Amino acid sequence: MHKRLHRILFGALLLASAGAQAQYAWIDAKGIRHYSDQPPPTDTPAAHILKAPRGMMPPSPDPGAKAAPTLAEREADYRKRHAAAEEADKKTAAVTKLAEEKRLNCQLAARDKAELDTGRRLRSDTGTHDIMTEDDKAKQLARDTAVLKDCR
């Protein structure tokens, strides 16, 4: 009698759990498949509803409705977005590098100009121990001034 009661109880539980399965299946706008016991959102096209309870299935899809993207289409879209993001990253890196080089050039030109403005005797940049002439100082000052004009 005890075993019989367990079998009846097990059968009742088995029948009760049959209704707990998802009754709706649909594909959302991003191409993701959903399963639920709740109906899909109202903006879901009828063509994207794959399964509904008996009598609740929407009418057959209209021929003008766009089908969910295939895996190949989604993969191609991903690759296109990924390539665009990489290109944008490269452009950003190039702009950042140019800005850093310009900042360094401005610092060097400002330092050189300040040194030239002191009026002290300076050595030439040729690597020798020669003293810069007034003409060399004027040329260097003109170059530094031109660089600093673009720094502002």
Question: 8-47: per-residue pLDDT in tens?
Answer: 877 776 666 555 555 888 898 888 988 888 888 888 887 8
Interior/surface letters 118-139, b for 16+ CB within 10 angstroms, e for the rest: eeeeeeeeeeeeeebeeebbee
Please compute, for residue 62, the number of CA atoms within 13 A of its CA located in the half-sphere on the CB side.
3
pLDDT value of residue 88:
96
Q: Are residues 146 and 86 in the same domain?
A: yes
15 lies in a domain?
no
Q: Are residues 61 and 92 in the same domain?
A: no
Q: Are residues 29 and 86 in the same domain?
A: no
Q: Are residues 55 and 84 in the same domain?
A: no
Contact predicate 62/47, CB 8 Å: yes
Q: Are residues 99 and 55 in the same domain?
A: no
7 lies in a domain?
no
pLDDT value of residue 15:
63
Nearest to 66 by CA among 33, 44, 94, 90: 44
- DSSP secondary structure letters along 10-63: HHHHHHHHHTTS--EEEE-TTS-EEEESSPPPTTS-GGGEEE--TT-PPPPPPT
Helix, coil or strand: residue 131? strand
* Cα–Cα distance for residue pair 26/36, rounded to 1 Å: 9
Q: Are residues 82 and 35 in the same domain?
A: no
44-84 pLDDT per residue, tens: 887 888 888 776 655 555 666 677 788 999 999 999 999 99
Q: Are residues 138 and 75 in the same domain?
A: yes
Q: Structurally, how many domains does the chain consist of? A: 2
Domain membership of residue 39 as a residue range: 21-66
Q: Which residue has the higher pLDDT, 7 or 124?
A: 7
Match 């057959």 to its residue by tokens. Answer: 60
Confidence of residue 139 (pLDDT cuts 50, 70, 90): confident
pLDDT value of residue 31:
87
4 lies in a domain?
no
3 lies in a domain?
no
Is the pLDDT at 94 greater than 60? The verdict is: yes
Q: Are residues 77 and 140 in the same domain?
A: yes
Q: Are residues 142 and 84 in the same domain?
A: yes
pLDDT value of residue 22:
57
Q: Are residues 80 and 111 in the same domain?
A: yes
12 lies in a domain?
no
Is the pLDDT at 1 greater than 90? The verdict is: no
Residues written for the chain: 152
pLDDT value of residue 92:
96
Residue 122 is classified by DSSP as: -
77 lies in a domain?
yes
Contact predicate 74/82, CB 8 Å: no
97 lies in a domain?
yes
95-130 pLDDT per residue, tens: 999 999 999 989 988 888 888 888 777 766 666 667
76 lies in a domain?
yes
